[in-house]
Chains A and B, each alone.
Chain A
Amino acid sequence: MASVSSPLGTVRKIVVTTLPVQDHVLPPEPPAPRRLARRATGADRVFELGARTVGATVLVVTGGIGAFLAWQSVPTLQRYGWSFFTESAWQPEADVLGIGAVLVGTVSVAGVAMAFAFPLALLTALYISEYAPPSIKPTLVSLVDLMAAIPSIIYGMWGYFLVMPHAAAFSLWLHQHLGWIPIFAVDADPDAAVWDQSRYIGSAFCAGIAVAMMVLPMSCAVMRQVFSQTPPGEKEAALALGATRWGMIRSVVLPFGRGGIIGGTMLGLGRALGETIAVLLIISPDFVIKPRILEVGTSSVSALIAGRFGDASAAQLSALLTAGFVLFLITLVVNTLAAMIVSRSRSGAGTDA
């Protein structure tokens, strides 16, 4: 700096701030953006490849099951055609096979289960999200989750040893008073002096109660979760306008949670359709298309598989796989619909507090 000669140097010594000379700092050419590498390097490439491999493996394994089931059911469907779905008997020795009866049985067990589980799950979810004191709310949520984790065999034993005698007595009462409705009819004398309990046990009704205990916590958890996402601003607005608690629930919580109610119920239905052990433990197997849910003897697809796999020849095994494939398709459709309804209700809510 001192070497720079100033024209004012002779007048007075003044400290002058000088601008730095720019010539050395400036790059010879205008700046260009740095190159960004999108390509993965080294470990990243290994990571991506590894993750892709794992994903492909799981895809092959899980998709392979579906493909295998579909492939195995081709010969059976070719052999029996549509009668496979309408024939009720399962007599491999007479070459008569069909899942008509077990499909009806599956649907009636699941129907009874949902008739019990839906109202109870809805009421419990409403109680937990709206009525319960805040101090015990987390405990109740954990209890419902714990209920969902209890193995189905335990509910089966509960249903078989504890509930079935009472359910049979209730069946008799239903038969006596509502027997004119076809589904409550039983092939027995309702007013007999000594009632024939063996006509009322082991029915789709008894099995449905045990299955209801299994699907109830699942539906309840979904419903409660959707209810708890209700915008608090809207709830407070309803209360501020003078609504009672039920008025607030009816005008805000239930409309907001409609998707969750439907979706949770259908998720439970999907589980109820595929339930095996509780049904197998309770029912007396019977291969008749029987819409009378109170009467002894029914069957379901899963109980059919569990009962007949052991002594099955190759052709029968293929028929059992076909039955399993049909069951899988039904639960898949139900679950997919449920997932669509639940996700649409959340994203399409269009409300903000």
Chain B
Amino acid sequence: MSTIRETAPTAPLDPPPTGPAPGTRAPSTYLPQRDLDAPPPVPRASLGKPTAEERFAAVGAWVAALALAWVITQRLLPLGGPAWLLVTWFATGLLLSAVTTSMTGRRVDVVDRVVSGVVTSGALVVGAALVSTVVFVVFRGWEPLLHLNFFVDDMAGVGPRDAFDRGGIGHAILGSVIELGIAIAITLPLGIGTAVFMTEVGGRFAVVVRTIVEAMTALPSIVAGLFIYTVLIVALGFPRSGFAAAMALSVMMLPIIARAADVVLRVVPGGLREASLALGASRWRTVWHVVLPTARPGLATALILGVARGVGETSPVLLTSGAASFFVTDPTDGVMNSLPLYIFTGARSPEPQMIERAFAAATVLLVLVLALFVVARLVARPARASRRTSRRTPRRARGVSEES
């Protein structure tokens, strides 16, 4: 800024190289005279990586801030505890990085550095919260997990104060699997069928269906559970059972899966459909052989994420299934336990042993969700070309030989 202001008044003093001809006005543009000795107005922003000096300033500011924060909180002010240390570190870190940047940069550079510190800290806080959740749950539930019977036994005849080598969550895992199996068997055909109807058939009725389905994704899971409780258990007289819990889960998952599948089917390129129809295929064959195979990874992801949502949902199960402490294989038979319900009852129990078991069950649930999630990622990954050809070729060869 300052250098520009200095050079500006000198410019009109330079005479133009050619004198004005008589009767004409002086030209109003000048070639700028470059002063080779003047420093550049601002340091050039580099396009590549930061230089070693910049990196040292950025890292050093935060290291110095940690030391300063330690002195302030532990020695100068009566602010004991790690929380105050972190808060002070954050504040002094922003201050010091602002100071170091202002030694070389302009105001905008200082703001840029401070904002980048704030943004990075925000992301670190979220990451720390996630890590603390996972580590805390695994740490508190570590001891029961060391016993193999925890995964295969049930809690029949096991008191809340018994040692960890008795009892387990086998019945809860089995119950979760049965309930989710029924729920998937109901929601998968209905959900994908609805999505096919909304995208492939269309019409005014499809718009109505899409509106209602999107509205029902807002249904809180507890209300879905209360609906099934009122209709199936109170009004129709079914017992509290795994089947009722599966129905509640289906009601909750159906709009989610239908909407996700709808989104996936809508992004199938229209050119593929038109090509198939132009080749003379019927609409049914187009859907079955072109649209659904194209959308298969996306549909699988939608289903798996819906299942991951359903497996951890506690509130519908809480209202409809009741809690058994033993293996139940018949979903219509009576009360049935499931993983989220086991965790919930354990966490509310006053016995520390039960709380630890609940944490161990939560670890199992966490691993289950993680596994589902990884499978969803693997399925959604685009298949490599070489694998696809090697998989498709034998089938095509067989088809040709059958035809000829």
Interface positions of A (Cβ within 8 A of B): 40-44, 46-48, 50-52, 54-59, 61-63, 65-66, 68-69, 72, 119-120, 122-124, 126-128, 130-132, 142-143, 145-147, 149-158, 160-162, 166, 170, 213, 216, 220, 242, 244-247, 249, 270, 273-277, 281, 302, 305-306, 309, 314, 317, 320-321, 324-325, 327-328, 331-332, 334-336, 339
Contact = CB atoms under 8 A, between A and B. Distances in A.
Interface of B: 45, 83, 108-109, 111-112, 115-116, 118-123, 125-127, 129-130, 132-133, 136-137, 140, 189-191, 193-194, 196-198, 200-201, 205-206, 208-209, 212-224, 226-227, 229-231, 234, 251, 254-255, 258, 282-285, 287, 305, 308-309, 311-315, 318-319, 340, 343-344, 347-348, 355, 358-359, 362, 365-366, 369-370, 372-373, 377
A154 B45 contact: no
Contacts of B319: 305-306, 309
Contacts of A128: 123
A331 B216 CA distance: 10
Contacts of B219: 65, 328, 331
Contacts of A151: 311-314, 340, 365-366, 369
A55 B210 CA distance: 9
B30 to A, nearest CB: 24
Contact of A305 (B197, B226, B285): B226
B223 A69 contact: yes
A246 to B, nearest CB: 4
A157 B123 contact: no
A157 B215 contact: no
Contacts of A242: 45
Contacts of A331: 218-220
B226 A48 contact: no
A47 B287 contact: yes
B220 A324 contact: yes
A162 B132 contact: yes
A154 B314 contact: no
A272 to B, nearest CB: 11
A245 B284 contact: no
Given A68-B231, A151-B313, A246-B112, A274 B254 contact: no
Contacts of A46: 284
Nearest to B224: A65
Nearest to A317: B230
A44 B201 contact: no
A161 B209 contact: no
B315 A302 contact: yes
21 contacts: A58-B213, A65-B216, A65-B227, A120-B122, A123-B122, A127-B119, A143-B127, A146-B373, A150-B133, A151-B313, A153-B343, A154-B362, A245-B112, A270-B218, A276-B314, A281-B347, A305-B226, A306-B222, A321-B226, A334-B218, A336-B215
A324 B221 CA distance: 10
B369 A166 contact: no
Contacts of B140: 161
A57 B190 contact: yes
B370 A54 contact: no
A150 B190 contact: no
Contacts of A50: 193
Given A41-B282, A123-B126, A161-B140, 11 more contacts: A62-B212, A119-B122, A123-B118, A150-B133, A154-B312, A154-B343, A158-B132, A277-B344, A306-B222, A314-B234, A328-B219
A249 B369 CA distance: 35
A352 to B, nearest CB: 20
Contacts of A327: 220, 223
B284 A47 contact: yes
B205 A47 contact: no
B258 A58 contact: yes
Contacts of A48: 201, 283
B78 to A, nearest CB: 13
B80 to A, nearest CB: 12
B125 A120 contact: yes
